[in-house]
C-alpha cells in the first residue's frame, strides 16, 4: 500500500532559525496536505498542494510539491515559539483515505 | 458552518472493560468519516473509515470495531480493552470526493487503560 515517509521526526531549533521537514511517498500522489498539531491539540489543516512543482506560501511558511508528485517539503523561515508543534504531511492517491506521515515534532528554543 | 463533536475528552478504563467513543458531525451531509489513533509522540494511525451509513473499512486488524448508524455519527467500540489500546483517539470528517478535500479533526479522546 501507499507509504508516506517524513523526516526528521524531531527538530530543535533556536528561535529565529529556519526549519524544514520533508515528505516522500512510495507512489505518485494526487495531492498532498499539511497539518499542524499543537501540543495537546488536534491536527489542523494548513494547506493542500495539487499541481506538479507547486509552491505556496503562508507568511513565513513555504510549501513545495515535487515535480514527480512524490515528495513535498515545508519550510519555516525565522521560527517563532508559536511555531512549536508537530507537522504532518498527508498524501492522497485519489481515493477515500489519505496516508499521514509520522510527523515532525518541532521545538523552538527561545 | 460545519462542526465535529467528539466525546468524552478523557477516559480511564480498566483492562477488559468495554469501550464506546462517539463522534458526530453537523452542518454537512454524507461526509467521509475517520477514526485515528495516535500513540504518545507518534504519528496518526488510521483505524477505520466510512464513506456512508453502514459502510466501514478497517485498516488495522485489532480488537476495535466501528459503526456508522447514522449519516453523521461514527462510533468506535471495543468489547474488551487491552493495555495497548491506550492512546489519543481522533475522529475526522471530510467532504465526499476523490481525496482532494482536507480532513477536519475533533478534539480527540485521551484513553488510558489501567
Is some CB atom of chain A closer than 8 A to the CB atom of B98? yes
Q: DSSP character for B15? A: T
pLDDT tens-digit map of A60-87: 999 999 999 999 999 999 999 999 999 9
- Min Cα distance B50 → chain A (Å) is 9
Cβ contact (<8 Å) for A43 and B44?
A: yes
* B-chain residues near A92 (CB < 8 A): 99-100
* C-beta atoms surrounding B55 within 10 Å: 12
The candidate with the shortest Cα–Cα distance to B47, out of A40, B88, B57, B55, is B57
Using DSSP bridges, classify how beta strands A44-49 and A104-109 pair: parallel, antiparallel or unpaired. Answer: unpaired
Largest CA distance in chain A: 42
Cβ contact (<8 Å) for A96 and B107?
A: no
CA within 13 Å, CB half, B107: 7
Identify which of B41, B46, B104 has the shortest CB distance to residue A45.
Answer: B104
Is some CB atom of chain B closer than 8 A to the CB atom of A56? no
pLDDT tens-digit map of A18-64: 999 999 998 999 999 999 999 999 999 999 999 999 999 999 999 99
Cβ contact (<8 Å) for B46 and A97?
A: yes
- d(CA B73, CA B77) in angstroms, rounded, equals 13
- Specify the residue for cell string 523561515: A77
Is some CB atom of chain A closer than 8 A to the CB atom of B60? no
pLDDT tens-digit map of B50-61: 999 999 998 886
Give residue A109's pLDDT band: very low, low, confident or very high (50, 70, 90). very high
Cβ contact (<8 Å) for B44 and A98?
A: no
Q: Are A86 and A37 in contact (CB under 8 A)?
A: yes
Give residue B100's pLDDT band: very low, low, confident or very high (50, 70, 90). confident
- Cell numbers for A64, please give them: 513545495
Cβ-based contacts under 8 A for chains A and B: 61
| Per-residue pLDDT at B59 | 83
- d(CA B98, CA B38) in angstroms, rounded, equals 25
The candidate with the shortest Cα–Cα distance to A99, out of A10, A7, A21, A33, is A33
Cβ contact (<8 Å) for A30 and B42?
A: no
Cis peptide bond N-terminal to A8, omega within 30: yes
Section B71-75 average pLDDT: 97
State how far the alpha carbon of A83 is from the alpha carbons of A23, A35, A60, B44, in Å: 18, 12, 10, 20
CA within 13 Å, CB half, A6: 29
Cβ contact (<8 Å) for A33 and B105?
A: no
Is some CB atom of chain B closer than 8 A to the CB atom of A64? no
Using DSSP bridges, classify how beta strands B64-70 and B73-78 pair: parallel, antiparallel or unpaired. Answer: antiparallel
Q: Are B100 and A92 in contact (CB under 8 A)?
A: yes
Amino acid at each position: 500500500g501507499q507509504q508516506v515517509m517524513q523526516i526528521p521526526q524531531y527538530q530543535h531549533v533556536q528561535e529565529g532559525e529556519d526549519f524544514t521537514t520533508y515528505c516522500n511517498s512510495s507512489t505518485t500522489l494526487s495531492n498532498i496536505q499539511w497539518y499542524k498539531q499543537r501540543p495537546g491539540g488536534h491536527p489542523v489543516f494548513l494547506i493542500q498542494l495539487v499541481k506538479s512543482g507547486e509552491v505556496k506560501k503562508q507568511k513565513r511558511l513555504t510549501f513545495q510539491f515535487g515535480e514527480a508528485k512524490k515528495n513535498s517539503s515545508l519550510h519555516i523561515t525565522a521560527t517563532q515559539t508559536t511555531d512549536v508543534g508537530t507537522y504532518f504531511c498527508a498524501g492522497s492517491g485519489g481515493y477515500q483515505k489519505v496516508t499521514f506521515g509520522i510527523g515532525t515534532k518541532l521545538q523552538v528554543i527561545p | 458552518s460545519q462542526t465535529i463533536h467528539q466525546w468524552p475528552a478523557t477516559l480511564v478504563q480498566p483492562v477488559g472493560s468495554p469501550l464506546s467513543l462517539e463522534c458526530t458531525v453537523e452542518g454537512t451531509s454524507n461526509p467521509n468519516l475517520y477514526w485515528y489513533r495516535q500513540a504518545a509522540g507518534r504519528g496518526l494511525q488510521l483505524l477505520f473509515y466510512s464513506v456512508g451509513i453502514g459502510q466501514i473499512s478497517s485498516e488495522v486488524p485489532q480488537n476495535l470495531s466501528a459503526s456508522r448508524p447514522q449519516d453523521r455519527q461514527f462510533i468506535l467500540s471495543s468489547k474488551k480493552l487491552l493495555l495497548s489500546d491506550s492512546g489519543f483517539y481522533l475522529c475526522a470528517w471530510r467532504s465526499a470526493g476523490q481525496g482532494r478535500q482536507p480532513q477536519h479533526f475533533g478534539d480527540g479522546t485521551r484513553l488510558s487503560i489501567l
